[in-house]
Amino acid sequence: MEGKGISQAVIRRLPRYYRYLGELLEDGVERISSNDLSKRMKVTASQIRQDLNNFGGFGQQGYGYNVKYLHSEIGKILGLDREHNMIIIGAGNLGQALANYTAFERSGFMLKGLFDVNPTLAGVTVRGIEIRMMDELKSFIRNNDIEIAILTIPKTKAVAVANMLVENGIRAIWNFAHTDLNLPEHIVVENVHLSESLMRLSYNVLRYEEKHQKKK
Ligand code: NAI
């Protein structure tokens, strides 16, 4: 059941399965066939079967998938059946916006602290969580069993801060700073670039317009 050898493409699709199955659960649906799931998710049924076969299937031929079971198994694969302690480095606009978002906690991502270098932010609280200065970082990571750091600082500072986080035992970085971090292999980095999503949107708007104009 462990995710060894599973392609990153499949891993990238799992959160979407998890979300759809969660919605089905809320709607009281107990079983779903790969065909019905396929219609909802606009993914081919064979893709769904192939993806889920990576983990031993979960489905019984002809009976469809048990929604609750599949949801919980995918949750386990994604590590959502346990808590992950997180800190945010950079308590500016984006850092505070993320800190204010409560839904992460429902999936087990627990925000324990916020850090910044700006002394005017020292002691300010966001959703009850205090903003601390960077000199407290080392002991905070150790004492609070922090696994994930969210980097929302300027890109010029990101590399140095990331190295410091690694030295202090951080396991993973959710990197919003627009720069690549070259960290040891055992450190997991997930880069987020909202602007890339916006560029894809822009591309598709243009393509749609082109197609539409040709038809006129
Ligand atoms: P901001 O200026 O409001 O906040 C940045 C915060 O980082 C400030 O409070 C500053 O004092 C703090 N900071 C600076 N150096 C630091 C250090 N060495 N250690 C700890 N804290 C430090 O900026 P905003 O709008 O929140 O953006 C933050 C970063 O996120 C920027 O690099 C921005 O380009 C990036 N960003 C990325 C997005 C994405 O999709 N990846 C979307 C939006 C912003």
Per-residue pLDDT tens over the stretch 153-165 = 999 999 999 999 9
Q: What's residue 1's pLDDT?
A: 44
Q: What's residue 180's pLDDT?
A: 93
For the ranges 70-79, 132-141, 155-164, the lowest mean pLDDT is seen at 70-79
Tokens 């270098």 sit at which residue? 117
Which ligand 1 atom lies nearest to the CA of residue 91? Answer: 9
Q: Please give the distance, rounded to the nearest whole angstrom, from the Cα atom of residue 148 to the centre of ligand 1.
A: 17
Q: Is 93 annotated as a binding residue?
A: yes
Same domain, yes or no, for 125 and 35?
no
| Position 52 pLDDT exceeds 80 | yes
| Position 75 pLDDT exceeds 80 | yes
Same domain, yes or no, for 183 and 144?
yes
Total domains present in the chain: 2
Beta partners for 84? 109
Q: What's residue 215's pLDDT?
A: 65
Same domain, yes or no, for 98 and 178?
yes
Q: Is 144 annotated as a binding residue?
A: no
Same domain, yes or no, for 97 and 152?
yes
Same domain, yes or no, for 92 and 54?
no
Identity at 42, one-letter amino acid code: K
Same domain, yes or no, for 57 and 150?
no
Q: Does 176 sit in the ligand 1 pocket, CB within 6 Å?
A: yes
Q: What's residue 2's pLDDT?
A: 47
Identity at 80, one-letter amino acid code: L
Residue 1 lies in a domain: no
Which ligand 1 atom lies nearest to the CA of residue 95? Answer: 26
Q: Does 93 sit in the ligand 1 pocket, CB within 6 Å?
A: yes
User: Which residue, judged by its Cα, is nearest atom 25 of ligand 1?
Assistant: 93
Same domain, yes or no, for 121 and 37?
no
Q: Please give the distance, rounded to the nearest whole angstrom, from the Cα atom of residue 113 to the centre of ligand 1.
A: 16
Domain of 42, in residue numbers: 8-77
3-state secondary structure of 193: coil
Ligand 1 pocket test, candidate residues 152, 181, 190, most atoms within 8 A of CB: 152
Which ligand 1 atom lies nearest to the CA of residue 97? Answer: 26
Q: Which of 17, 44, 77 is the last residue in one of the domains? A: 77
Using 50, 70 and 90 to split pLDDT, how confident is the model at 60?
A: low
Same domain, yes or no, for 89 and 44?
no
